[in-house]
Structure 1
Amino acid sequence: MTHPFPETSTPDRERLVALARRSHAVIAGHQDPAGAYPASPTFSAYRGYAWLRDGSFTAEGMSRYGDVGSVDRFHDWVTRVLAARTGQVAGLVAAAEAGEDLPLDLMLPTRFTFDGSDGSDPWWDFQTDGYGMWLWAVVTHAQRHGLALDRWLSGIEVAVDYLAAFWDRPCYDWWEEHVEQRHVSTLGAIHGGLQAIAQAGVLDATRARRALDVAEQARQLVLAEGTTTGRAGDPAAPHLAKWLGSSAVDASLAACVVPFGLVDPASPIAAATLDAVARDLDVDGGVHRFRADVFYGGGQWLLLASLLGWNRAAAGDRPAALRHLVWAADHAVDDGEMPEQVPDHLLAPEHRDEWLDRWGTVATPLLWSHGMYLILADELGLLPEDDAR
């Protein structure tokens, strides 16, 4: 746990620390015995499934909290899931190298059942960001706690081979939309994961070189085609864009700065990207996904408030980071569970009822929200002391 900033006031500190303890309990209480972190244990569309994306950030929060056993079990689960698909990935890579056209339904899914199977119901499945996120998460966890990565090597090799072959293929984004685009946040996650694992010293020399090469190719592609000078007539510095060739802003772009380092956090383009996210999507500390969002009316997401706060904390701006943490804490429900989003400042209120009719109330708890809260609480020195965990 880090303590880079002075103390907050005692009442606020006690409340924020208590919610960190509750977040750990929610995640630990819902973790499947086999190791998967469910996206949400009660939400109709998520129930029974685990995403690599959600799980990787949830694992990072739990790793920071110090629950090494829980995180080990998650990485064990991912490794079993991926190792079981070694032959499938080898076949896909060989087919791609032979110039075959590979339909989306042959690619690895973005979510799995708790026993590691593919889902049986239709979903927007071809998404590569989670594989990069998992590589980053497993390396970060191992380094934090002095663990050997060999335990997870069979899964790591599958993820590296898969990303090295298909990193630049259009796919669905973080929000499972726009399969026709190459998304900057996806490329950022791939860059972060491949760079982390290549430098970790566990890969064979050929895979390590390939991982570093692809990570750099992803970065160069974004710098060449995934930036914008901003809105028309705006003289601001260029910032990252939602997808290659776009001028839109997406809150997930913050992850390209911290933690994935696609752009140097000290660079002008990083500062301009975070400022664009704040300018377009931050209202009172809560953060929207993107301006055109209609999902449940386009509310504000707790996990995105924590992501932007994480970036502000990493840049040394405690007041801004704390503002986002307090906002997230203020929007937990009475029992301390955190929803996916809240209907504050809806961007498209006319669409809210159609989603309520389709899938029911908003996912609560969303384990990703709790995981991101733990990350930001750690950045601010607001996790419980070791003897209280």
Structure 2
Amino acid sequence: MSEFSVEQLRALAVHSHAVIVANQHDGGAYPAAPTFSAYRGYAWLRDGSFTAEGISRYGDTTSAGRFHDWVNDVLGRRRDQVDDLLAAVARGKQPAVEQMLPTRFTFDGSNGSDPWWDFQTDGYGMWLWSVVTHAARHGLSLDPWRTGIEVAADYLFAFWDRPCYDWWEEHVEQRHVSTLGAIYGGLIAVAPELDEERRTTALKVAAEIRSLVAAEGISRGHLSKWLGSPHVDGSLPACVVPFGLVPMDDSLAGATLDAVARDLDVDGGVHRFTADVFYGGGQWILLSALLGWNLAARGDTDGAHRHLQWIARQALDNGDLPEQVPHHLLHPDSRDEWIARWGEVATPLLWSHGMYLILADELGIISRDNA
């Protein structure tokens, strides 16, 4: 199997940047996928935070900044809602799932009008990590985004340990290790930038997350899909890089990466989890990039390049990257059901392109002076 040259890999990075900025909404939101029926018209904090990181690494401070401006506005408009939620907690009440902040927003910052699996806290931690990382990389002040930062932090302080839907919008009854890792990473990143009271709370919550995961989120020597589960999930490497819940030099990090590779990696493409039936349970571009990112950080450059090459092979003739590919379906009998429900797999998926930019930058394929 022939490999892509550095020039070809760099050209895919240029295309990835172009896809993202061409589809960015005028208000700054990154649509999850511009044409896919279930995603069209919506932006997720989770997808957008990683997409913004890829754009920031590419060197496009304008596009990334517009996304962070949009999130700051969206969260600032929900200051009163968060205050009401905090007041309910102070009275000993547990707000209903329907009262919580959503995981996705319309481009104008409104809540969606159609039903969704909305209560997900990971994106709020991811955005804190993303905006702080972007500002630090480019020497920018966080002041323009401070309102949103404080809303996100206050929200997470109150609800970090509440069960919610995971990255894949499933199992609202569980506490998911990848969600806890994202919250940890966001709070650790932002803590130095907060006022004294919030900084103290952020560090306290981060320590509680680490203790909880150590006590209940490890199985057979590796991180588990949710607290008490024996299984792994393709999102778990994020608990190592970039969120740092587990340091790379900890044996738990190596065991987790090895378990994900053993159970979910086929020829460089990574599945979400073994029971995945969504579109038959294919291999996800963004998860291949996430594992490759971790391998690069561990010093396994060859392994990371293997994932970058696999991603490049999944690009359509025009360079667009899909959400997942069907080469090694875990549950092929379920694929047609999803096609009938929502159409063909989301393509292009901006998160896939953002993650390609991250891994390509990690491997020195692109320069941050492109934009």
TM-score range, shorter chain: over 0.9
CA distance in 2, matches of 1:75, 1:385: 19
Are 1:343 and 2:326 counterparts? yes
Q: What one-letter code is carried by the residue in structure 2 that aligns with 1:342?
A: V
- Unmatched tracts of structure 1, length 5 or more: 1-8, 230-237
Q: Hey, what does 1:39 align to over in structure 2?
A: 32
1:223 corresponds to 2:214: yes
Equivalent residue, structure 1, for 2:191: 198
Q: Does 1:208 align with 2:199?
A: yes
Residue 11 of structure 2 corresponds to residue 22 of structure 1: no
CA distance in 2, matches of 1:102, 1:164: 15
- 2:322 touches 2:349 (CA, 8 Å); kept in 1? yes
Question: Matches of residues 1-389 of structure 1 in structure 2 within 5 Å?
Answer: 12-199=5-192, 201=193, 203-229=194-220, 238-384=221-367, 386=369, 389=371
Amino acid of the residue matched to residue 22 of structure 1? H
* Percent of aligned pairs with the same amino acid: 70
**Aligned-pair distance for 1:219?**
1.0
Q: Distance in 2 between matches of 1:321 and 1:194?
A: 28
Paired residue secondary structure (1:88)? helix
Describe the SS at the equivalent of 1:50.
strand
Partners of 1:347 and 1:109 in 2: CA distance? 30
CA deviation after TM superposition for structure 1 residue 177, in Å? 0.2
**In structure 2, what residue type is equivalent to 1:60?**
E
Distance 1:209 1:75 in 2: 25
TM-score by length of 1: 0.94
**Where in structure 2 are there 5+ consecutive unaligned residues?**
none
The question of whether the paired residues in 2 share the 8 Å contact of 1:40 and 1:365 is answered with yes
95-104 or 269-278: which moved more?
95-104
- What residue in structure 2 maps to residue 232 of structure 1? none
Aligned position for 1:3: none
State how far apart, in whole Å, the 1-side matches of 2:185 and 2:253 are.
15
- 1:235 is matched with none
CA distance in 2, matches of 1:115, 1:184: 31
TM-superposed CA distance for 1:101, in Å, is 2.7
> Over residues 187-231 of structure 1, what are the superposed CA-to-partner deviations in whole Å (9 max), with x where a residue is unaligned?
0000000010002x3x110011101111111111001000011xx
Contact 1:227/1:240, CA 8 A, preserved across alignment: yes
Cα distance in 1 for residues equivalent to 2:300 and 2:247: 17
User: How far apart are residue 11 of structure 1 and its match?
Assistant: 5.8
Contact persistence 1:21–1:384 (CA under 8 A): no
Partners of 1:20 and 1:384 within 8 A in 2? no
Q: How many residues get paired?
A: 370
Instruction: Report the residue type matching 2:286 in the other structure.
Output: L
Q: What's the CA shift string for 1:332-354, capped at 9, x where partnerless?
A: 11100000000011000000000
Q: Give me the whole-angstrom Cα distance separating, in 1, the residues matched to 2:132 and 2:368.
A: 24
Residue 385 of structure 1: CA displacement?
Answer: 7.0
Deviation at 1:100, TM superposition (A): 1.0
Deviation per residue, 1:230-261 (Å, 9 max, x gap):
xxxxxxxx110000000011010000000000
CA distance in 1, matches of 2:91, 2:34: 42
Separation in 1, partners of 2:51, 2:301? 23
Whole-angstrom distance in 2 between the partners of 1:157 and 1:176: 25
Aligned to 1:5: none
Q: CA deviation at 1:97?
A: 1.7
Secondary structure at the counterpart of residue 251 of structure 1: coil
The ranges of structure 1 where at least 4 consecutive aligned residues each deviate by more than 4 angstroms after the TM superposition are: none
* AA in 2 matched with 1:352: R
- What do you get for the CA RMSD once the two structures are aligned? 1.1
Letter in 2 for 1:274: L
Match of 2:349, as an amino acid? L
Q: CA deviation at 1:99?
A: 0.9
Distance 1:209 1:341, change over 3 A: same
